[in-house]
Amino acid sequence: MRQFHALKIAAKRHETRDSVRLALDVPDELQETFQFLPGQHLPIRVERNGTELRRTYSICSRPGEFPLEIGVRVQPGGRFSEFADKELEAGDTIEVMPPFGQFHADIDADAQKSYLGFAAGSGITPILSIMSTILEREPNSRFALFYGNRRQVTTMFIDDLYALKNRYPDRVQLQFVFSREDQEFPIAAGRLDGDKVREVYDAMCRGTQPSEAFVCGPDSMIEDVTAALVELGMDEGSVHSERFGVPRQSSAPDVADTASGAATITVIMDGHKKSFDMADSDPNIVDAAAEHGIELPYSCKGGVCATCRCHVREGEVAMATNYGLEPWEVEKGYVLACQSRPLSAAVTLDYDKA
Ligand code: FES
């Protein structure tokens, strides 16, 4: 059920001076609900001074292990992250939706794969979960991580990564890249752009055939890394990515603006059906539903997190932007409700279809 549950903060500690790690207690009766695949994230909701804040944070711990852990980079002026940094304490409660998201690794104990990870800044959070789970549960697979940061002192999870390297010395390659610090070796200096990917690939992956790559960071980094990996011979379908932050504005026309907007919308959730009439003036289906007292899942409302993902069972909608769905999902009829307006007079959205 995609609804919020109150979870208690079991522990809080500063990862770096500008990031915190929160451990969330999951009571026994909710542990089944909070099972996850490595790489998935948690939609979070808190109330601050009468305003509701929603954010999405990736899980950095391994599936099956409780408490669940997330990493929060503290952004200057970031309302949730500053609240997490300065005010949230162990024992406090926050509202959390069950884990979600298509960016994940499928673990196969018999696999003998060679994985690559590319993370920029707090993009390490889901990749740490993926990497540590693969190393623990695929004993014949290897993982090479390339991790870009401005400086070592702001590098999240550095101790966890060295611990993995120490524990699995023959199966882990670790290359940090710093953009604002002098480095003894040129390979460790700069940003994770296309040239750097070619450089580290040449130096560390020569003679291997990477099976899959996981990439997490800002929009431009994902585009650069993916393009370079494809150029180096990887199949695009083997390069999985998750972006954070606000993507670059697309110059594509805003198709949702051309949709009429007026329609009867039916939503199916947890086996129940509800309908409402959406007006031409409603900006998107999530907001229109809220006008009628129907709470649909959402977090970023920016087309990124995919918390609002659902399947169009009947009718047609147009999305304004989509940074959260893979091409195959769009082809199969999944949409982001926070970005959608109807194109047909009746639309049925199924939130139960996985
Ligand atoms: S709520 Fe994040 S993509 Fe719709």
Task: Tell me the CATH number at 82.
Answer: 2.40.30.10
CB 117 within 8 A of CB 145: yes
Domain boundary among 243, 273, 301: 243
| Whether residue 313 is found in the same domain as residue 339 | yes
- Index of the ligand 1 atom closest to the CA of residue 324: 3
pTM score > 0.75 for this model? Answer: yes
Task: Tell me the CATH number at 143.
Answer: 3.40.50.80
Across-strand partners of 54?
45
Q: Does any domain span residue 198?
A: yes
CB 96 within 8 A of CB 22: no
| Whether residue 293 is found in the same domain as residue 318 | yes
Reading the block at residue 245, the tokens are 């932050």
Sorting pLDDT into bands at 50, 70 and 90, what band is 261? low
| Whether residue 58 is found in the same domain as residue 163 | no
Sorting pLDDT into bands at 50, 70 and 90, what band is 255? very low
Its domain, for residue 37, covers 5-96
Strands 346-350 and 309-314: antiparallel
Q: What is the mean pLDDT of residues 277-283?
A: 93
Mutate to test the pocket of ligand 1, among 41, 102, 284, 308 (most ligand atoms within 8 A of CB): 308
* Rounded percentage of the chain residues whose pLDDT exceeds 90: 87
Sorting pLDDT into bands at 50, 70 and 90, what band is 1? low
Q: What is the mean pLDDT of residues 260-270?
A: 88
| Whether residue 315 is found in the same domain as residue 224 | no
CB 59 within 8 A of CB 69: yes
Q: Residue 251: its pLDDT value, please?
A: 42
Protein residue with its CA nearest to atom 3 in ligand 1: 303
Mutate to test the pocket of ligand 1, among 54, 244, 304, 335 (most ligand atoms within 8 A of CB): 304
Q: Residue 206: its pLDDT value, please?
A: 80
Distance 238 CA to ligand 1 centre (A): 24
Q: Walk across the sheet containing 93-96 and list its strands.
A: 51-58, 41-48, 93-96, 5-16, 19-25, 68-73
Is residue 311's pLDDT more than 90? yes
Domain boundary among 38, 65, 96: 96
Is residue 256's pLDDT more than 60? no
Is residue 91's pLDDT more than 80? yes
Domain boundary among 96, 126, 152: 96
Residue 8: CB atoms within 10 A of its CB come to 15
> DSSP letters along 292-343, please?
TT-----S-SSSSS-TTEEEEEES-EEES--SSS-HHHHHTTEEEGGGEEES
Q: Does any domain span residue 60?
A: yes
Distance 337 CA to ligand 1 centre (A): 7
Q: Residue 58: its pLDDT value, please?
A: 96
Distance 93 CA to ligand 1 centre (A): 23
| Whether residue 239 is found in the same domain as residue 307 | no
Distance 336 CA to ligand 1 centre (A): 6
- Index of the ligand 1 atom closest to the CA of residue 306: 3
Task: Tell me the CATH number at 327.
Answer: 3.10.20.30
Give the tens place of pLDDT for each residue, 31-82: 999 999 999 999 999 999 899 999 999 999 999 999 999 999 999 999 999 9
Q: What is the mean pLDDT of residues 112-139?
A: 98
Reading the block at residue 79, the tokens are 């309302």
Q: Which residues contact ligand 1 via a Cβ below 6 A? A: 298-308, 324, 336, 338
- Index of the ligand 1 atom closest to the CA of residue 337: 4
Contacts of 175 (CB under 8 A, 6+ apart): 144, 145, 146, 147, 187, 188, 200, 204
Q: Residue 244: its pLDDT value, please?
A: 77
Q: Residue 232: its pLDDT value, please?
A: 94
Give the tens place of pLDDT for each residue, 320-329: 999 889 888 9
- Index of the ligand 1 atom closest to the CA of residue 339: 4
Q: Which residue has the tokens 């099972």?
A: 35
Residue 46 CA neighbour count, 13 Å, CB half: 19
Q: Does any domain span residue 130?
A: yes
Q: Does any domain span residue 107?
A: no
Give the tens place of pLDDT for each residue, 173-229: 999 999 999 899 999 999 999 999 999 999 988 888 899 999 999 989 999 999 999
- Index of the ligand 1 atom closest to the CA of residue 305: 2
| Whether residue 126 is found in the same domain as residue 214 | yes
Q: Does any domain span residue 318?
A: yes
Distance 23 CA to ligand 1 centre (A): 24
Mean pLDDT of the chain: 93
Mutate to test the pocket of ligand 1, among 246, 301, 325 (most ligand atoms within 8 A of CB): 301
Sign of CA dihedral 18, 50, 286, 320: negative
Distance 166 CA to ligand 1 centre (A): 38
Sorting pLDDT into bands at 50, 70 and 90, what band is 354? confident
Q: Does any domain span residue 68?
A: yes
Q: Is 310 exposed, middle or buried (0-12, 13-18, 19+ CB in 10 A)?
A: buried
Strands 172-178 and 142-149: parallel
Number of structural domains (the chain) is: 3
Q: Does any domain span residue 72?
A: yes
Q: Does any domain span residue 157?
A: yes
Distance 161 CA to ligand 1 centre (A): 30
CB 34 within 8 A of CB 123: no
Distance 173 CA to ligand 1 centre (A): 34
Distance 18 CA to ligand 1 centre (A): 26
| Whether residue 279 is found in the same domain as residue 218 | no
| Whether residue 213 is found in the same domain as residue 266 | no
| Whether residue 262 is found in the same domain as residue 172 | no
Lowest mean pLDDT among 249-253, 254-258, 264-268: 249-253
> DSSP letters along 263-293, please?
EEEEEEETTEEEEEEEPTT--SHHHHHHHTT
| Whether residue 233 is found in the same domain as residue 127 | yes
| Whether residue 260 is found in the same domain as residue 192 | no
| Whether residue 263 is found in the same domain as residue 342 | yes
* Rounded percentage of the chain residues whose pLDDT exceeds 70: 95
